[in-house]
């Protein structure tokens, strides 16, 4: 049992798992913002043209069952907005990572005095062998 808990702790403390947890939390909060944007701003504006306060009011009955297709339309709009925002974020991250890759590597450090001396000795020994 102790080994199992140690393995779980090592798994949970990996960077990827922590990043994923932060992503899920931020995504949940962002979902609430997107839902509010749709329900409180976009839908009332569209409702002006549809003559409905919101799409949630759009429904019809079939054999006693209520089909609320307005809720489905709102969910689809919510998905489209979320997908567009995630696309924009991924595109921005990719652009930033490309800029980092395109940066030229720093020049190699200047050789030390000892390395310069050893290089001169090597070159002198090569010259002596040629003669």
What pTM, to 2 d.p., does this model score?
A: 0.50
CB-count exposure of residue 38 (10 Å: 0-12, 13-18, 19+): buried
List the one residue out of 77, 78, 55, 79 whose CA is nearest residue 68.
55
d(CA 40, CA 37): 6
- Any alpha helices (H) in the chain, and if so which ranges? 2-12, 15-36, 43-50, 69-102, 113-130
10-34: per-residue pLDDT in tens?
776 766 766 777 778 888 888 888 7
60-78: per-residue pLDDT in tens?
888 888 888 888 887 888 7
pLDDT of residue 100: 66
Q: What's the mean pLDDT in 80-94?
A: 83
Q: How confident is the model at residue 40 (pLDDT cuts 50, 70, 90)?
A: confident
- State the chain's mean pLDDT as an integer: 80
d(CA 16, CA 24): 12
Does 79 score more than 70 pLDDT?
A: yes
List the one residue out of 56, 30, 29, 59 whose CA is nearest residue 44.
56
| Structure-block tokens of residue 57 | 């009011």
Pick the CATH number of 2-130 from 1.20.1530.20, 3.20.20.210, 3.40.50.620, 1.10.1200.120: 1.10.1200.120
The structural domains of the chain, with segments of one domain joined by +, span 2-130
């Amino acid at each position: 049992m102790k080994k199992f808990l140690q393995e779980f702790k090592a798994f949970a403390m990996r960077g990827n798992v922590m990043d994923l947890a932060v992503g899920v939390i931020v995504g949940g909060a962002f979902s609430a913002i997107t839902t509010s944007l749709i329900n409180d701003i976009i839908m009332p504006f569209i409702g002006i043209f549809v003559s409905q306060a919101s799409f949630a009011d759009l429904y019809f009955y079939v054999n006693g069952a209520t089909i609320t297709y307005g809720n489905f339309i709102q969910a689809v709009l919510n998905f489209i907005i979320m997908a567009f925002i995630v696309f924009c974020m991924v595109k921005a991250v990719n652009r930033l990572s490309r800029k980092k890759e395109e940066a030229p590597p720093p020049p190699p450090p200047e050789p030390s005095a000892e390395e310069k001396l050893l290089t001169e000795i090597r070159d002198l020994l090569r010259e002596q062998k040629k003669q």
